[in-house]
Structure 1
Amino acid sequence: MARHLEDEHIPFPILVGDIGGTNARFWILTDVYAEPREFPHVRTAEFPTIDQAIQDCILDKTAVQPRSAILAVAGPIKSDEIPLTNCDWVIRPKQMIANLGFEDVLVVNDFEAQALAAASLSKDDREPIGTLAETSLASRVVLGPGTGLGVGGLVYSRHVWVPVPGEGGHVDIGPRSKRDDQIFPHIERIEGRISGEQIICGRGIVHLYRAICAADGIEPRWTDPADITSHGLEHTDPVAVETLELLATYLGRLAGDLALIFMARGGVFLSGGISQKIIPALKLPAFRAAFEDKAPHSALMKTIPTFVVTHPQAALAGLAAYARTPSSYGVSHDGRRWRKG
């Protein structure tokens, strides 16, 4: 049964996991100080259940048997049966305790883990976008274009970092420029609306590319976001180049909106593989120009740094930071932590 146990440490060794739609990633932390034991990525489609994947790919591969697990998942945590958004696995903490030998299981939102990473990663794990390279102990925002568009906040209060999960990727996004007015009528809508996730994520790159083609009367050449991205970065296709420029612009606008909402003087952090791949496009003027264009607060926006998170396992690093020093983070356990007995 879930309990209020925020003040209790989770016992080591701890299995930390980042469970995505395609891949699941795991580390084992043997104690507070040791480097994590890393494991190969697990393809979710190759296992019928997460329990089977953990048993076969982790527990059977190491003599160190974790007593606890902290799992970050893309999906709502409403009960002791937690379905994932983009794969068929269902996380059942009570069953994990019964079958896998865990004493303690904590499940958090995937962007809480990304927010924890934004609080704890070093300068070497982030790439500044723009001239500002320093951050401060102040509220932060994390955005992650990937399969969808994840958003999380991070509030610093009374010497504690408090992650704030949300669904900010689904806010409305609309046209501002003449070029936007030409393109937006061709963007695929969901029940009549265009959300950030419709154009700022993997499939959004394709939506945006097709909309540009439709606006200009051009036959689309590419259907894979990786192709559009590579041709845009290599300047081998003018529509792909404009797609990346507009992607950076719309990402900058939304990032700026969220920075204002959270008063994120500590910075905005762009996470995930897409952000890392398009760093050259983000370093062009379009992203920061859109981010700062928030009259009457443009002067304020110029003081807020923006970064791409470059750590290859940022979510696991965030979970590990929390596991080692839980008193530094205000992570709620209510309804999300289960213990043996």
Structure 2
Amino acid sequence: MVNELSSTLSFPILIGDIGGTNARFALLTDAFAERREFPVVQTADFPSIDAAIQETVLDKTSVQPRTAILAIAGPIQGDEIPLTNAGWVIRPKTLIGDLGFESVLVINDFEAQALAVASLSAEDREQIGPGAIRPAASRVVLGPGTGLGVAGLLHAQHTWFPVPGEGGHVDMGPRTERDYQIWPYIERLDGRVSGEQLLCGRGIMHIYNAVCAADRKEATLETPADVTSAALAGKDPQAVETVSLFATYLGRLAGDMALLFMARGGVFLAGGISVKILPALKRPEFRIAFEDKAPHSALLATIPTFVVTHPMAALAGLAAFARAPQHFGVATEGRFWRS
């Protein structure tokens, strides 16, 4: 199907990174053109992706894209694809019928982040701790944002293969004495605490509220931005501990994913939260938790970790794929529609 994609992804191509909160779009007129980016929009401001594409892109350009490549935050099953953390439902057949596309390819949003990890330069990332990339080794990308995205990236036969999944929903549990003090107050989803219950925007609030409850303190901060700002400024002890715990829990899960994929090519933290709390991630807690994986702590110490600092990394990954699909093993079965 890769060879077929090379001939069927006709330019101009619309690329879109559709998250639970924000949607980002860009146009590629041909394989060599710079992508034209459009203003970032909020999903809540539009009733559907169709309306967002029409008003954000099609009404702002005379170029009629022939292909759409959309990375969406959620699993892809069937002809109606709901976002996990937003109200949109992507209907590729409707996009073709109503907006004039000849073909639509829908992939997972963290597949796009994995594509970016394969193609971004060193200037687009900042390393945390020791380790060096092995060029053709497996990689992992995690992204705490509205939810928690996880994807792998494998290399074989001179091709990068992104591996999508729902790794953000794996179970998390307490390990330290402090964990056991605050865990009873962590908000649960159907009786369990998943990675996404801790490692996303609302996860910051779950941790903060639990820390306050365990300390018998009033929770006065109301948003994730309030908590991270207060923590980085050192103004609120509970906020400081919240961000420290967030870094620790992210390190634990990142280490688990590194073991799962044997990610000697590196573990990459994407998304706005990772960039915003970069100073906290550079403190010891993240790498200590990442490497604390007996009997393989020595192995984890050799695996590099990075924060992706490119502001439009997913779009950059989609653009790299659109320009040269033959370099990437993107699965298309059940995810590619044509007129």
- Global fold match (TM > 0.5): yes
- Pick which of 212-221 and 120-129 moved more: 212-221
What displacement does 1:51 show? 1.5
The 3 A distance-change label for structure 1 pair 284 and 69 is same
1:117-128 to structure 2, matched below 5 A, reads 117-128=116-127
Q: 1:40 maps to which residue?
A: 39
Q: 1:330 maps to which residue?
A: 329
Q: 2:149 maps to which residue?
A: 150
- Pick which of 178-187 and 316-325 moved more: 178-187
What displacement does 1:22 show? 2.3
Residue pair 1:23, 1:43 contacting (<8 A) in 2 also: yes
User: 1:189 & 1:48 partners in 2: Cα distance?
Assistant: 30
Q: Which amino acid is 2:9 matched to?
A: I
TM-score (norm 1): 0.96
User: 2:21 & 2:247 partners in 1: Cα distance?
Assistant: 25
The 3 A distance-change label for structure 1 pair 3 and 328 is closer
What displacement does 1:5 show? 4.2
Structure 2: segments with no counterpart, 5+ residues: none
Q: Deviations over 1:161-209 (max 9, x none)?
A: 1111111111111111111121112111222211111111111111111
Q: 1:281 maps to which residue?
A: 280
- Pick which of 43-52 and 118-127 moved more: 43-52
Match of 2:173, SS state, is coil
The Cα RMSD (Å) is 1.7
What displacement does 1:134 show? 4.2
The 3 A distance-change label for structure 1 pair 36 and 6 is closer
1:66-145 to structure 2, matched below 5 A, reads 66-132=65-131, 134-145=133-144
1:1-341 to structure 2, matched below 5 A, reads 5-6=4-5, 8-132=7-131, 134-340=133-339
Q: Which amino acid is 1:107 matched to?
A: V
User: 1:208 & 1:87 partners in 2: Cα distance?
Assistant: 22
User: 2:179 & 2:44 partners in 1: Cα distance?
Assistant: 38
Match of 2:235, SS state, is coil
Residue pair 1:222, 1:228 contacting (<8 A) in 2 also: yes
- Pick which of 202-211 and 134-143 moved more: 134-143
User: 1:139 & 1:121 partners in 2: Cα distance?
Assistant: 15
What displacement does 1:235 show? 0.6
What displacement does 1:220 show? 1.3
What displacement does 1:88 show? 2.3
User: 1:3 & 1:9 partners in 2: Cα distance?
Assistant: 10
Q: How many residues align?
A: 339
What displacement does 1:7 show? 5.5
Q: Which amino acid is 1:70 matched to?
A: I
User: 1:88 & 1:212 partners in 2: Cα distance?
Assistant: 31
Residue pair 2:172, 2:195 contacting (<8 A) in 1 also: yes
* Percent identity over paired residues: 68
TM-score (norm 2): 0.96
Q: Deviations over 1:231-265 (max 9, x none)?
A: 10111111111111111011001100110010000
User: 1:215 & 1:158 partners in 2: Cα distance?
Assistant: 52
Residue pair 1:142, 1:268 contacting (<8 A) in 2 also: yes
